[in-house]
Structure formats: structure tokens, C-alpha cells
């Protein structure tokens, strides 16, 4: 971060439980303007749960989330989307029956102003709004190199491309903050490099903070400015990537994981 | 999506247009002219069937939107048609309203009733919501039969006057044809437009992934209710036209089996496609005729005692068999066949 950074989002003392399982407790961290913050930790640490709390899909039982100084903890999921909180999903939750283009256009929902009558007639107003929003979406299609698959139904696309469409759909919401849940999971090295480049491009272009959940420490080192480490639902470390790499607690969390083979692991940690 | 060869979009304005080439316009206009000439070319029996197909096309656009696009299964489609038909009949017969006044009011009534029965979609989905619509399918005919039989006629048939437009009475099947087909063409155009609009995308987003849709800013409940409302507008209009087609209303036309036939139509046609829904209607309506005409000869092979049962059972039997075959071998329906065909002829004679 070069300029004095503003606090965009503050997560304060977040607690979440599923029945008797304490998924998160006492999670605190700040997201500064225009930074890429990596959220790491072993599987089951609670990373996805944190993102779900921020986007409003999970209701935390304690703590607050402030976005641009405003408490959003009580807002509905839809309201949060309207504030510009946008995300991708670990397991690609696309609209499988729509084309790539329409998946992105669907995210323009909150900006397109016409109702069902105008939509049924599809004359002047609806047509103008569609064309205007289509232009916005086309910029994202260019940025993410999706032009060739624009009119393809998402169901038919390969995994790596679907991951990119997922990112595109999050961007089409014109986000103020972007949450990426393992955008590179299951990709080969080349696809990972492409995705990293896209994420850096997005940040450069949009000047928005990005929270990225990622397992590949190499990627984390390369693209993030700060790292927050979770283990068993609590924050165990926070700092610059270089420091995190040598943090004893972090190493123990990851090594402990390797020592217990019953805990599942899909991505080796290359620290 | 496949386009005619050589059609490229230089502006997004063109890309949002359905009719792209002069050829498409020519084919469409020729098709409409041919449609207009049909009453002069075809015999009365066939026109009567085509009219029923037209009525069903109007109605199926509703189910296409609710089930095909939004993914909410309705087992009450027939009953919502009944709301439209009965509301129109009562407004015409009891208050003396003309068709042109009674019909829109009846359509709106049907929409509101559909909206009401869509309320459970706030809390339940899938199978359980289907059960809630099944409740509507039983409550509505029950209400028609039992609550005010002096007004609705109960189980008996009440006649409906032919609509009259500037002195032209739609009093024969040949004349009704123009009324029904006008509504069918308009319904198809409106539904197709809605599908490619913001609203249609929100519907499909809810169908394909309601959690993601919500996180991306779609007001799920509002759009589910909207789907129920729009669906019931179309089914209400279909009911009004059915009453015109029969010149009467009878509660038998709006029972559970009718709802199931309609679901069968969109399954055969292919969920989520307007052309598919139209193909499904045509296919099932003709299948109905074929199975009714082969019923008696087949029944002849059986002893008298079960012959009658075979005769009445042959139509549902064939219907069930066809649905099973489609689900097993072509779950994407006739719409998929149509896409393959279009793909083929647009590139002909160059096969890739
Ligand atoms: N919907 C849920 N129901 C029950 N338990 C859940 C649910 N979501 C997450 N958990 C539990 O919360 C913990 C954190 O999960 P998650 O946030 O998915 O971890 P991560 O994304 O870091 O792998 C896990 O123990 C998981 O089993
Ligand atoms: Mg996760």
C-alpha cells in the first residue's frame, strides 16, 4: 500500500456456531482500501464461513461487520449486494442454464431499471437499459478473455473457464469489495497464473479491496499485501506475507495438519 | 446459441434483436399469412383442434415462466385456468359485461389468486411447494362446485356468449380461430421477450441457484411471487379463451389431470424454451386425438367387460408412456431437436 490507506471493512469479534460446533470465534481483522488481503488456514479453519458472514449468507451469533463505517450485520443478503459486496464461490455456484454472458448480465440486476411490463414489450426503455448494461458487461468479458464463450451455456464450459465466469459475474455487480473463495482451486499452473493476472488486473482497474482465500502459498506471496491466518475458527496470525511464512504458529497449524492424516487436504502447502 | 451464417453483431443493439435478417422476417410474415389462411384451407374438425392448441399455447406460456424458467413446479395450472374462465363467465352472465371488459378483469383475478397460492414459496420449495399448488388444484374446483352453485352452476355447464368485436361475432370455430391465434401469437412474443429481459434472467437465476441469485442482489421472494402472478395471468387468459372455444364453462375442464397434461407438455417440449413449450402443446394435443381414435379399435380386441376400461384408459396410458420415454431418452425435449435442426439447416450445405 503506497498511499495512506483507508479502512474499508472491519470485522469485529465475529462468532458463529452450527449447533454445538463453534465454527468461528473472536475473529477480528481490517480490510484497507485497495489492498489484496489473503485469508489462509487449513481446511475447515473457517475461511468460507467468514466470507459467508460478510456476504450475509450466514448469520453470526456475535460480533459486527462494518463496511465503510456502517454496521451491515443486520442487513439482508440482497441489501449487501446493493452496497457492492460481491463474491465468488469455492464450488462455482453459477446459473448453469444461462450463457456466460447472461450469468454476467444477471449481476446487473440491481442496476437495470425496468419492470416486467417493459420487459415483456422489450421496446425503447428495456432495450436501452439492456444495451447500456451490456456495454458494461462486455468490458469485463474483454478483461477476463471470455469473448469466445460469451454465448455458450455455462454448463458446457470446462472447469477453469467456469471459474473465470464466476469471477466475471462477481465483477459485473460493480463491487466495492470483492471476496474470492479459492479462485484457483483445482487449476493447473498455467490457469493459476492467468487467474492471478486477472485478479491483479481487476485490482489495478477497479481500485477495490479484495479478500482472497487461497491455499497455494506461492500465489499468496505473489499477489497479497497482507495475510490473515485462521485455524479452528480463530485468528492465529496476521501480517505481511514474508512474516507469516516464518510464523511458528502458522507453521505448526499447517504441520499439525500434515501430522494428522485424518484431516483432509487437497492442496499441498508449499511454504 | 447459433446464428445464421454470416450474421455478426457490430453493435449490442443488434445483438439484443431477435429478428436479425430479412429472411427471418420473410419467413415469419409468410408463416403468419399462412396461419391466417388456415380456416379457408382446412376442415372444421382440424380447425377446432388448432383452436384448442392456440388456447393451450396461451396457457402454457404461464407454466413456461413459472416452471420452465423459475423452476417452481405447479400442479394447479388447470385450476388457475378455471379461475379465469369462471370469473369471466360470471362477469358476463351476471353483470352483463362484454367479453372485452370481463376478460381482463378475469385475467387479473386469476393472477391475484395465483399470487395468493404462491405465498408458500416464501418458506418451502421443490416437492413441498408442488404439494401446496396441489392444494390449490383441489380447493379451487371445490369452491366452484360448492360455495355458490347458484352463481357458478356447480357441476353443471353454463353457456358463455361469443365475444363480439365491432359487430363481428366470434361465433364459429372458423372465426374463433382468429381471436385465439391473435392471443397466442401475442402471448408467445411477450413471454419470449420477458425471458430475455432482466426479469427472465432473475427467474432462471432463482431456478439454477437461488443462493447465488440472492447474494447477487435478486430479491428472491419478490421474483417468485412475480412468477406465480404472471403465470396465473396467462393461465387465466387461457381459461377465458377455453370458455370461448367451448362456448361454455364446466368445472371438468379444470381438474388435476388437465394440470398434469400441461406439465407433460413442457416436459415433452423441453423446460425453459418458448418454442419447446409450443411444440409440446402441439405434440400432446395431437397425441390426445390419436390415442382417442385408436382407443375403440384396440378396445375391440378385449372382452366387453374390460373393453370399456381399455377405451377410457388408453389415452392416459399413452400419455404416461410418452412422458416416460421423453424423460428417459430426450430430457431436453423437442426444443433440443429443434436446435439441432436449426443448426443443421443454417449451415447447410456446409457441414462442419
Ligand atoms: N452450513 C454448515 N453447517 C454445519 N457446519 C458447517 C457449515 N459450514 C461450515 N461448517 C463447519 O464450520 C467449519 C469451518 O468450515 P469452512 O468455513 O467451510 O472452512 P474452510 O473454508 O476454511 O475450509 C468446519 O468445521 C465446517 O464443518
Ligand atoms: Mg472453504
Q: What is the pLDDT of residue A264?
A: 43
Q: What is the pLDDT of residues B219-235, one digit of tens each?
A: 999 999 999 999 999 99
Mutate to test the pocket of ligand 1, among A21, A266, A269 (most ligand atoms within 8 A of CB): A21
Q: What is the pLDDT of residue A259?
A: 46
All structural domains of chain A with their residue ranges: 1-84+175-271, 92-174
CB contact under 8 A, A107 and B217: yes
Residue B3 has pLDDT above 60, yes or no: no
Give the residue from chain A lying closest to B271, CA to CA.
Answer: A97
CB A154 within 8 A of CB A162: yes
**Using beta carbons and an 8 Å cutoff, which residues of B are at the interface with A?**
1, 11-13, 15-16, 190-191, 193-194, 196-202, 204-205, 207-209, 211-220, 226, 230, 272
Nearest CB to A98: which of B11, B191, B204?
B204
Q: What is the pLDDT of residue A263?
A: 41
CB contact under 8 A, A121 and B193: yes
Q: Which residue has the higher pLDDT, A71 or B40?
A: A71
Segment among A25-29, B271-275, B292-296 with least mean pLDDT: B292-296
Q: What span, in angstroms and rounded, lies between the C-alpha atoms of A167 and A54? A: 17
Burial (Cβ within 10 Å: 0-12, 13-18, ≥19) of residue B255: middle
Residue B352 has pLDDT above 70, yes or no: no
Ligand 1 centroid – CA A49 distance (Å): 6
Q: What is the pLDDT of residues A168-225, one digit of tens each?
A: 999 999 999 999 999 999 899 999 999 999 999 999 999 999 999 998 888 888 899 9
User: Smallest CA–CA separation between B17 and chain A, in Å?
Assistant: 9
CB contact under 8 A, B209 and A109: no
Res. B265 pLDDT band, cuts 50 70 90: very high
Give the residue from chain A lying closest to B188, CA to CA.
Answer: A120
How large is the average pLDDT for residues B166-190? 93
Q: What is the pLDDT of residues B302-320, one digit of tens each?
A: 777 777 777 778 888 888 8
Partners of residue A126 in chain B, C-beta under 8 Å: 193, 197-198
Across the strands, what pairs with A86?
Answer: A178
Q: What is the pLDDT of residue A271?
A: 40
Q: What span, in angstroms and rounded, lies between the C-alpha atoms of B200 and B230? A: 12
Residue B217 has pLDDT above 90, yes or no: yes
Q: What span, in angstroms and rounded, lies between the C-alpha atoms of B163 and B176? A: 9
CB contact under 8 A, B272 and A97: yes
Lining residues, ligand 1, CB within 6 Å: A 18, 21, 23, 41, 43-49
Partners of residue B193 in chain A, C-beta under 8 Å: 119-122, 126
CB B162 within 8 A of CB B97: no
CB B310 within 8 A of CB B295: yes
- Nearest ligand for residue A232 CA: 1
Q: What span, in angstroms and rounded, lies between the C-alpha atoms of A139 and A135? A: 7
Mutate to test the pocket of ligand 1, among A46, A88, A211 (most ligand atoms within 8 A of CB): A46
Res. B346 pLDDT band, cuts 50 70 90: low
* pLDDT above 70 coverage of chain B, percent: 94
Q: What is the pLDDT of residues B69-84, one digit of tens each?
A: 999 999 999 999 999 9
Ligand 2 centroid – CA B294 distance (Å): 60
Question: Ligand 1: which residue has its CA nearest to atom 1?
Answer: A18
Residue B349: is the preceding peptide bond cis (ω within 30°)?
yes
Residue segments in chain A with a per-residue pLDDT below the cut of 70 = 1-5, 255-271
CATH class belonging to A1-84+175-271: alpha beta
Partners of residue A142 in chain B, C-beta under 8 Å: none
The two counts, helices (H) then strands (E), for chain B are 15, 4
Pairing label, strands A70-71, A226-231: unpaired
CB A58 within 8 A of CB A150: no
E strand residue ranges, B161-213? 164-165, 168-169
Q: What angle do CA A160, A164, A170 make, to 5 degrees?
A: 145
How large is the average pLDDT for residues B26-41? 89
Res. B350 pLDDT band, cuts 50 70 90: low
Q: What is the pLDDT of residue A197?
A: 94
Amino acid at each position: 500500500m503506497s498511499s495512506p490507506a483507508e479502512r474499508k471493512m472491519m470485522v469485529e469479534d465475529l462468532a458463529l456456531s452450527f449447533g454445538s460446533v463453534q465454527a468461528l470465534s473472536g475473529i477480528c481483522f481490517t480490510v484497507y482500501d485497495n489492498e489484496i488481503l489473503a485469508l489462509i488456514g487449513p481446511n475447515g479453519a473457517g475461511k468460507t464461513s467468514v466470507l459467508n458472514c460478510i456476504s450475509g449468507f450466514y448469520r453470526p451469533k456475535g460480533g459486527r461487520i462494518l463496511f465503510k463505517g456502517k454496521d451491515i450485520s443486520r442487513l439482508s443478503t440482497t441489501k449487501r449486494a446493493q452496497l457492492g459486496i460481491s463474491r465468488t464461490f469455492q464450488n462455482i455456484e453459477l446459473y448453469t442454464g444461462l450463457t456466460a454472458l447472461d450469468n454476467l448480465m444477471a449481476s446487473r440486476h440491481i442496476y437495470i431499471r425496468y419492470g416486467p411490463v417493459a420487459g415483456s414489450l422489450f421496446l425503447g426503455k428495456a432495450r436501452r437499459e439492456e444495451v447500456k448494461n451490456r456495454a458494461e458487461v462486455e468490458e469485463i468479458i474483454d478483461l477476463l478473455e471470455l469473448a469466445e464463450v460469451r454465448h455458450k451455456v455455462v454448463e458446457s464450459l470446462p472447469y477453469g473457464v467456469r471459474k473465470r465466469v464466476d469471477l466475471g459475474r462477481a465483477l459485473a455487480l460493480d463491487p466495492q469489495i470483492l471476496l474470492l473463495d479459492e479462485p484457483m482451486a483445482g487449476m493447473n499452473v498455467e490457469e493459476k497464473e492467468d487467474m492471478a493476472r486477472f485478479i491483479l488486473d481487476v485490482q489495478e482497474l477497479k481500485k477495490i479491496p479484495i479478500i482472497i482465500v487461497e491455499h497455494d502459498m506461492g500465489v499468496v506471496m505473489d499477489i497479497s499485501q497482507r495475510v490473515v491466518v485462521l485455524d479452528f475458527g480463530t485468528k492465529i496470525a496476521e501480517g505481511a506475507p514474508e512474516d507469516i511464512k516464518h510464523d511458528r504458529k502458522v507453521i505448526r497449524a499447517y504441520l499439525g495438519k500434515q501430522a494428522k492424516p485424518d484431516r483432509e487436504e487437497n492442496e499441498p502447502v508449499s511454504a | 446459441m447459433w446464428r445464421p451464417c454470416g450474421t455478426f453483431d457490430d453493435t449490442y443493439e443488434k445483438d439484443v434483436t431477435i429478428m436479425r435478417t430479412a429472411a427471418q422476417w420473410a419467413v415469419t410474415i409468410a408463416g403468419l399469412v399462412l396461419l391466417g389462411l388456415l380456416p379457408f384451407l382446412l376442415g372444421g374438425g382440424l380447425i377446432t383442434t388448432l383452436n384448442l392448441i392456440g388456447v393451450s399455447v396461451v396457457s402454457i406460456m404461464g407454466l413456461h415462466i413459472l416452471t420452465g424458467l423459475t423452476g417452481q413446479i405447479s400442479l394447479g395450472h388447470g385450476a388457475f385456468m378455471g379461475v379465469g374462465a369462471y370469473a369471466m363467465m360470471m362477469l358476463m352472465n351476471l353483470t352483463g359485461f362484454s367479453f372485452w371488459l370481463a376478460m381482463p378483469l378475469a385475467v387479473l383475478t386469476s393472477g391475484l389468486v395465483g399470487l395468493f397460492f404462491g405465498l408458500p414459496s416464501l418458506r418451502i420449495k421443490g416437492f413441498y411447494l408442488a404439494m401446496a399448488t396441489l392444494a390449490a388444484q383441489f380447493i379451487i374446483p371445490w369452491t366452484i362446485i360448492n360455495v355458490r352453485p347458484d352463481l357458478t352452476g356447480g357441476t353443471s355447464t353454463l353457456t358463455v356468449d361469443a365475444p363480439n368485436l365491432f359487430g363481428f361475432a366470434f361465433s364459429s370455430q372458423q372465426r374463433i380461430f382468429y381471436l385465439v391465434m391473435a392471443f397466442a401469437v401475442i402471448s408467445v412474443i411477450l413471454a419470449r421477450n420477458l425471458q430475455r429481459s432482466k426479469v427472465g434472467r432473475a427467474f432462471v437465476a432463482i431456478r439454477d441457484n437461488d443462493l447465488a441469485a440472492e447474494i447477487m442482489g435478486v430479491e428472491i421472494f419478490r421474483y417468485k411471487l412475480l412468477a406465480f402472478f404472471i403465470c396465473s395471468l396467462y393461465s387465466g387468459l387461457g381459461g377465458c379463451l377455453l370458455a370461448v372455444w367451448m362456448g361454455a364453462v364446466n368445472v371438468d375442464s379444470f381438474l388435476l389431470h388437465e394440470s398434469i397434461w400441461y406439465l407433460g407438455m413442457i416436459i415433452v417440449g423441453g423446460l425453459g424454451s418458448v418454442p419447446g413449450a409450443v411444440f409440446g402443446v402441439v405434440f400432446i394435443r395431437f397425441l390426445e386425438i390419436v390415442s382417442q381414435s385408436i382407443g375403440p379399435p384396440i378396445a375391440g380386441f378385449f372382452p366387453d367387460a374390460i373393453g370399456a376400461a381399455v377405451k377410457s384408459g388408453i389415452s392416459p396410458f399413452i400419455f404416461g408412456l410418452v412422458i416416460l420415454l421423453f424423460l428417459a431418452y430426450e430430457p431436453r425435449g423437442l426444443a433440443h431437436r429443434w436446435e439441432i435442426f436449426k443448426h443443421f439447416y443454417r449451415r447447410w450445405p456446409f457441414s462442419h
